[in-house]
């Protein structure tokens, strides 16, 4: 599945109203650890068909970053049925990211 770029305009439909588990990657183009994490996120998006993988550029979507209290990036948030079920800050391995996801 392709990575979806989330904006405040599509956030409700694509994240809050989604039946699948949603992995949100809060990032910025100038962030080194974010660039390191990007290929891992892309790999998860291709391999895990049961989840929706989304990226939120904090420079362009500051309101969403504030709503999730993002203070450092990269920040990952896992949503299920509109609720935050887990989150983490900093670079994570693919294995550690997959451990964040609820059993399906």
Q: Express as a percent the part of the chain with pLDDT over 90.
A: 95
pLDDT digits (tens, 9 = 90+) for 90-99: 999 999 999 9
DSSP 3-state assignment of 66? helix
For 4-85, CATH number out of 3.40.50.880, 3.40.50.1390, 3.40.30.10, 3.55.50.30 equals 3.40.30.10
- How confident is the prediction for the chain on average, in pLDDT? 95
Residue in 1, 28, 31, 101 annotated catalytic:
31
pLDDT value at residue 1: 76
Q: Would residue 54 show up in a list of annotated catalytic residues for this protein? A: no
Radius of gyration (Cα) for the chain, nearest Å? 12
pTM of the model: 0.94
Give domain limits for the chain: 4-85
Q: Which of 4, 22, 23, 34 is catalytic?
A: 34
């Amino acid at each position: 599945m392709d990575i979806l770029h989330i904006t405040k305009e599509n956030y409700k439909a694509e994240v809050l109203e989604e039946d699948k588990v949603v992995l949100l990657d809060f990032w910025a183009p100038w962030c080194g650890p974010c660039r390191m994490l990007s290929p891992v996120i892309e790999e998860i998006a291709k391999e895990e068909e049961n989840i929706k993988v989304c990226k939120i550029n904090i420079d362009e979507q500051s309101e969403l970053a504030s709503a999730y209290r993002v203070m450092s990036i990269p920040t990952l948030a896992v949503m299920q049925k509109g609720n935050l079920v887990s989150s983490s800050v900093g670079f994570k391995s693919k294995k550690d990211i997959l451990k964040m996801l609820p059993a399906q």
